[in-house]
């Protein structure tokens, strides 16, 4: 999702950027981690489509972000800054309201976070980024859908979109039900994580014989 130095403008094209803004407009709240705010200084508002700004939720358990970031400035969108509850916190950080949630091992308890947002009437939650934040929600089974956009861009080594625990077998990997959409030059996979996963693909007998023949050692 970015180069080693964090440059991500723009990996995907204009059609996918508009899709991102539509998702913001459709949701009650948009979540990002502190790393995304520190690196990109995003506004997280709806600008490329018609719609209402979501509540911006910034996860900062280590309390490292300065109040000069754009999400903490007074504008049309409300912002919640999430701290861990290990020590007292001020009521505000710039124009953002501070909310504390329980931590385990220095990491925010995401189930407690979602419960706190639900208590505020925020039901449709969009976890926008970055890769570490999305991966944590995916690992803990708290995502209903996952949108994966693939762009025709070769970066070489860079920052991965998902960082999950490694699997040794393909059969143990997540293979979700999905739909495929084209967005300009990009391809979007809309993965349904609540539906039963797709069964491991079967290879027909003729192709299996060809693969098997190719694997035989030369004599």
pTM for the model stands at: 0.89
Per residue in 65-76, pLDDT (tens digit) is 999 999 999 887
pLDDT at 205: 74
| Alpha-carbon gap, residue 54 to 76, rounded angstroms | 10
Residues 67 and 40: beta-carbon distance below 8 Å: no
Identify the H or E element spanning 21: helix 14-26
Per residue in 79-116, pLDDT (tens digit) is 999 999 999 999 999 999 999 999 998 899 999 999 99
């Amino acid at each position: 999702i970015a180069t080693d130095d964090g440059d991500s403008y723009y990996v995907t094209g204009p059609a996918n950027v508009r899709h991102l803004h539509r998702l913001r407009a459709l949701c009650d709240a948009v979540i990002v981690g502190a790393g995304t705010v520190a690196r990109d200084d995003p506004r997280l508002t709806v600008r490329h489509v018609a719609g209402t700004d979501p509540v911006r939720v910034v996860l900062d358990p280590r309390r490292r972000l300065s109040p000069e970031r754009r999400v903490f400035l007074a504008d049309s969108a409300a912002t919640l800054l999430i701290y861990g509850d290990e020590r007292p916190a001020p009521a505000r950080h710039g124009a953002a309201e501070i909310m504390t949630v329980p931590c385990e091992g220095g990491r925010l308890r995401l189930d407690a976070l979602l419960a706190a947002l639900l208590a505020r009437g925020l039901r449709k939650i969009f976890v926008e980024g970055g890769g570490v934040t999305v991966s944590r929600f995916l690992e803990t089974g708290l995502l209903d859908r996952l949108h994966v956009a693939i762009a025709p861009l070769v970066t070489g080594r860079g920052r991965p979109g998902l960082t999950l625990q490694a699997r040794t077998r393909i059969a143990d990997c997540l293979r979700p039900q999905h739909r495929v959409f084209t967005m300009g030059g990009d391809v979007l996979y809309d993965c349904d994580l609540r539906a039963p996963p797709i069964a491991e693909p079967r290879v027909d007998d003729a192709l299996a014989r060809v693969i098997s023949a190719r694997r035989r050692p030369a004599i």
